[in-house]
Chains A and B, each alone.
Chain A
């Protein structure tokens, strides 16, 4: 008990005496904790608990049979007539848009005659009551235009509903409504044949779900079934796709999570600073307490305890804050996931016990860890010296040269780590290199600050007068404190710069790539909802109609399928390769011109694959790969590797004729239209619109499509910008708090200036110059560190996580703008401390000493 009393009197009370500064420190930790928590929570909601909408509707079936491009329908018969009691549920799976509400829902075709009630029971086993309800719902055989909808969609039996499926709109009648308690599993159900008709998917089903008897094991069942299935058709555990998607998203989540730690690192600097300040200020007290019999351990634990209290308070505020931020983060993340990876609907955000513990552990852990060094210094204070010499000389003690050497060593270690390969597919050593660099720059900071302030001091003196001289002297005199502050802010700025350069380079690379990749004048695609893993089609014949129009020089039909390759989702595509116009740059690793590569693909089992694909599957040009296409399995040679920045999922591209040999569905996913040079684009466009009037298709000009692509690109990185903004806010709050401390510690000096004829504006100017000097130093150091970090991000982290080749590019305007804003905000952060300085009563502060 007396211990706590002492702790309260000596440690807590001083904190309460400076509520604003204490609050700023706590808020800095709170923000750091909140960001980490928000990203963890949002990650779980947007991707971690991710199950594609189809999976939630798959019921209790254990196995699934599928292949690229659809399973031939006769396989259903093969399975159903086996001498085992297997329940066989063939499925058509796609998406439909309700035209009234523009809502996109899973569209499921199933054999209602055979399994209407069974489906209802297995898929919707919420309550016994709803089971029987569902059973009744599907207990009737319908017409081709009958559908069943989940109750949350909001229709009633015999309502007429207009659905957009691929490029067609049809009216359907709601034959029944089934209960879908939490809204996630809403779908539109129709009869298998009706679905096949609606989607033009005759003679094929997308997936066959199997429920097998309990013995033998699922593995044995797989082996047993494989023998009766055609070569290309695969049987695997249901839900495999979920795991595949999760694996695909791993790198994305990982990188985001690491970015979320930036604010925490910045927060750690600030805790370090807060505790350092409190140690320096209380040196005489420490001396007294020590001479009165307190052991080193007591002093150490007192300061660690102080930090832990701040950390705990921060974590407690960070918890609800993080929960709040998670809502926004989910939206941003879900959008990215949807456009780059896979269509999914974010789950609910769950703040469970583990998250709470995580937040508390992070808050307290970071606080205690970053305060350890100053706390240890406090415990080493010799009682006599502390009381005799006070704080002044202590502040100056920094091992500049030694730290500079250490920084050099760390820098070299970082260089070595950046050259190492990925560990288990993750750029662990790349991140290590980044962390080492941040540490190196923190260590080099005192030397940097010292050198720069001494240069600046003379210069500033001439330009900004005596206040500038005083400001630079002060910063230099408390070198350690200044270095930590500059370190904190410059780390935040460096991260911002690094990510800014990386994203800017990426963007520029994409812009250049797109100008090669989108050579056509107009693009046609179905109005149905498209995503990275959804490829609605245009009715076959439309492209051919368009091709015949006057003014249309050529059309290129592209068809994409969502496939699974080596347990990873991928996109399989085909195109009319003979149509593509040549252009200046090569798209290929080999550097060969397009015509040459495409000629190789014509009439042969050769494909080209995208860069991320080779990276994910460790393949290169010349290797061969085996693809399951419909009922057959075929081997393809990789003719070349092409740059592709449209999605992180790997892509395989083959000639249209090659694909049609295996998958005869002629409907294209989209069509590129080349207008003859002597025709007017707008006239041709109007012609095309007339010709496609019976279909729900969207016609984009080249420029629209690019703008759309860039919009998606920018949305993808929105969350990154948000994370950086928080890190900057944390750093600026730290600067404000630290300047406040600096003002309070220097009140005697500031009071003295008033005695010697300083006007209030001069005192204010002094503090603002200090703030702006801190900002300037941090910007310079941050820019330099950020540049090096960006190289690591572009050439190591990005390459090892996603497999993209990004060309370096300085996003000058954005960087300049961002740095100016940060600088301005830093100076603004000095306003309040400056006001405090002005309000000091000179007589009182002089008297205190």
Chain B
């Protein structure tokens, strides 16, 4: 069974009474361990797709199945649990909490899920992203690349089966961006985590097992390698 399954999904937004069709009848299956690059022009619906995949939003029509469960069928509590157990998010602008240390940022999802003593897990994830020893720093004491690696560690802290990254390299220089992409790819393989990266970077596209090109809310091209 695919970890993520979009079945004929459409998403409309209403702006000033006018519907905007962000996604138009789109279907896609993503398997565990698969590394998907999501590309396309600005405004083609990449972020929208990721939000639906992460159960942060619901499709206007069609179904989003996360590990076989339809997100539309769940209440807020169920969605929260689904997110806590299955999904990790990475954002373009890192989105670390500045009042927390690196350790605390990484631990946050586990703490929110009510887990005790998450420090060991955090230490391990920081080792994965090669940031051992920086755990007690505050985000403003890190470089952009380091910050994004902290964000990766945070997204992986609860061993999600689906990792969603919205332009994770958008705020980084090409070199650093590539390092992050390599890291994501490696971790996806090692942890058997399905990863979807929305990106403008050709590098990312070339790394992916699967390339999905969107255009006007539809899949224009789907290439599996």
Contacts and interface: CB of A to CB of B under 8 A. Distances in A.
Q: Do A and B come from one complex?
A: yes
Interface of A: 392-393, 465-466, 469-470, 473-474, 476-477, 748-749, 752-760, 762, 842-843, 846-847, 849
Given A465-B114, A466-B112, A474 B56 contact: no
Given A756-B89, A757-B84, A749 B111 contact: no
A748 B97 CA distance: 10
Contacts of B89: 755-756
Nearest to A847: B47
B51 interface: yes
B177 to A, nearest CB: 19
13 contacts: A465-B114, A466-B108, A470-B100, A473-B97, A473-B99, A752-B97, A755-B89, A756-B83, A756-B89, A756-B154, A758-B80, A846-B91, A849-B93
Interface in B93-121: 93, 95, 97-100, 104, 108-109, 111-114
A755 B155 CA distance: 10
Contacts of A753: 108, 112
A756 B112 contact: yes
Contacts of A842: 56
A747 B104 CA distance: 19
Nearest to B160: A757
Nearest to B100: A473
A755 B54 contact: yes
Contacts of B51: 843
B95 A759 contact: no
Interface in B54-102: 54, 56-57, 76-77, 80, 83-84, 89, 91, 93, 95, 97-100
Given A465-B114, A466-B111, A757 B97 contact: no
A144 to B, nearest CB: 89
Interface of B: 47, 51, 54, 56-57, 76-77, 80, 83-84, 89, 91, 93, 95, 97-100, 104, 108-109, 111-114, 140, 154, 158
B136 to A, nearest CB: 15
A477 to B, nearest CB: 4
Given A752-B95, A752-B97, A755-B89, A762 B112 contact: yes
Contacts of A465: 111, 114
Nearest to B158: A757
A470 B109 CA distance: 13
Contacts of B47: 847
Given A465-B111, A757-B112, A757-B113, 8 more contacts: A470-B100, A473-B99, A473-B100, A476-B99, A759-B76, A759-B77, A760-B76, A842-B56
Nearest to A474: B99
Nearest to B96: A752
Nearest to B51: A843
A748 B89 CA distance: 15
- Rank and list the top 8 A-B pairs by shortest CB-CB distance, nearest first: A757-B84, A466-B111, A473-B99, A477-B99, A759-B80, A756-B109, A758-B112, A755-B89
Given A466-B108, A466-B111, A842-B56, A757 B99 contact: no
Contact of B98 (A469, A477, A760): A477
Contact of A756 (B57, B77, B93, B108): B108
Contact of A392 (B95, B98, B158): B98
Nearest to A761: B77
Contacts of A847: 47
B56 A843 contact: yes
A749 B97 contact: yes
A849 to B, nearest CB: 6
Contact of A757 (B80, B91, B95, B104): B80
A589 B77 CA distance: 72
Given A749-B97, A757-B109, A843 B57 contact: yes
Contacts of A469: 104, 111
Nearest to B97: A749
A757 B83 contact: yes
Contacts of B109: 756-757
Contacts of A754: 56, 80
Nearest to B89: A755
A470 B113 CA distance: 14
Contacts of B113: 757
A369 B54 CA distance: 50
A364 B220 CA distance: 63
A757 B54 CA distance: 11
Nearest to B114: A465
A762 B80 CA distance: 11
Nearest to A478: B99
A755 B86 CA distance: 12
Contacts of B98: 392, 477
A762 B109 CA distance: 12
A474 B99 CA distance: 6
Contacts of B100: 470, 473
A565 to B, nearest CB: 67
A754 B97 CA distance: 13
Contacts of A760: 76, 80
Contacts of A476: 99
A476 B97 CA distance: 14
B52 to A, nearest CB: 10
Contacts of B93: 849
A757 B84 CA distance: 5
B188 to A, nearest CB: 19
Contacts of B111: 465-466, 469
Nearest to A760: B76
Contacts of A470: 97, 99-100
A755 B99 contact: no
Contacts of A466: 108, 111-112
Nearest to B93: A849
A297 B210 CA distance: 59
Contacts of A843: 51, 56-57
